[in-house]
A and B are shown apart, each in its own frame.
Chain A
Amino acid sequence: MTKNKLLNIAILACKGLRILWIFIFTISTLFFIHFQINKDFYKDMEIKFNEPSGFNISSSETLFTQNSEGDKKSSSIQQITTASLYINYIKFTAVLLFYFLSLKEFQKVIESVKHLKTFQLNNVNSFRRIGKYAFIIFILSSFTFITYQHTATSGFQISFTPLILMLLAFILAEIFKEGNMLRKENDLTI
């Protein structure tokens, strides 16, 4: 596979993921609006708090303010409070937005590699931005707080995936900075 084919595939993948992100955002917004119009539609749906899987450390606590019926590990979506719904919707949208922006920056980097402008200062800035976005995603996905009419669930988790992504992005930014210096020196060698 030639270099350009690989880069084209990567650019296409980035574009596809960005479209998917927009699609997820649209679906979640529609759900958010529909939930407020017709809450009864969701009365049978439950949120289950499974043990988290994957590369993370987490702890969660369920607080019971009043006696509530049903399983302690699940709550009906219908009972979620409006404030909690708004907070979680904004949090989810923000995470989606920062993933979207990270993908956009990554696509910029790949396009510059394709146009043989790899070690430019723009790419250094792009990787730094990706690192910052990954850190924001890490912060946003660390806390979970959902309040229902009778109960509340709060949780804290350290997700290592955005942290590793952040570290890699900042390391790549430094590598590209070094590359940019070497390119400048090479350009000024006659």
Chain B
Amino acid sequence: MPIVVNLDVMLAKRKMKSKDLAEIINITTANLSILKSGKAKAIRFSTLEAICNALDCQPSDILEYVEENE
């Protein structure tokens, strides 16, 4: 998928653990893992809002468009 999730980078920058973020934004660690691994098909605005709020960042810091090489 050309949309890359840079959640790991932001978590490292904020020195926050995945488990803590999952607790703050009220989703399961399994779902957060799906999001981090790029297996997710979609992300809700409410989840994105909660992540941005928790990590004090913009959606563009988490999501990035990378053109696919053929």
Q: Which residues of A contact B (CB under 8 A)?
A: 185, 188-190
Q: A185–B43 Cα gap in the complex (Å)?
A: 11
- Count A-B contacts at CB 8 Å: 22
**Number of contact residues on B: which range applies?**
10 to 19
A-B contacts besides A185-B42, A190-B42, 17 pairs, CB < 8 Å: A185-B41, A188-B34, A188-B40, A188-B41, A188-B42, A189-B40, A189-B41, A189-B44, A190-B27, A190-B31, A190-B32, A190-B34, A190-B35, A190-B40, A190-B43, A190-B44, A190-B47
Q: Which residues of B contact A (CB under 8 A)?
A: 27, 31-32, 34-35, 39-44, 47
Q: Which residues of A contact B43 (CB under 8 A)?
A: 189-190
A119 to chain B, nearest CB (A): 16
Of the A-B pairs whose beta carbons lie under 8 Å apart in the complex, a sample of 7, sorted by A's number, is: A185-B42, A188-B40, A190-B27, A190-B34, A190-B35, A190-B40, A190-B44
Q: Which residues of A contact B41 (CB under 8 A)?
A: 185, 188-189
